[in-house]
Amino acid sequence: MESLGLTADYAPTCSYHSWATEHIRVIADTGRFISLQHTLVMLFKNADGTMSEPMLNKHWRQDWSYEPAELHTFRGAETFARHRPARAESAGAWSQSVWQAEDSPRYAAPGRWEHRGNLTVWTGENSFRPLPRREHTVRKDYAGQ
């Protein structure tokens, strides 16, 4: 839910809610490539007020590659391009490539893992990321998708 606007004339849009349980399954792990499929188990309220049976829905996927040779990157305005990182950019890096529910590309970026005590964080390089598909269906106030 949005709660902050960065312009003087900002007015929040009507909020919407969806609910589901998200599951993540490892579909590949070679040590240098890991693919994680996200699925949603959803329930719906029927017209008579009863709850539906659970429905399984394929959601997004994330692929992790160690020292990637090539990335399928988002460039803005529904445009994608192949990017071959320089060896120095790729050395020791893990890339995250995100794919939409229908397996079309969403974004990709190399990044580095940092381990500090009990905290592990992956920080991706700056990259463009398109507006999520769900926002295209309910929001009209974004520009430059």
15-49 pLDDT tens trace: 655 568 899 999 999 999 999 999 999 888 888 88
Residue 96 one-letter amino acid? Q
93-114 pLDDT tens trace: 999 999 988 888 888 999 999 9
Which pTM was predicted?
Answer: 0.75
DSSP letter for each residue of 39-107: EEEE--B-TTSPBPPPEEEEEEEEEEEES-S-EEEEEETTEEEEE---HHHHTT-EEEEEE-TTS-EEE
Residue 46 one-letter amino acid? N
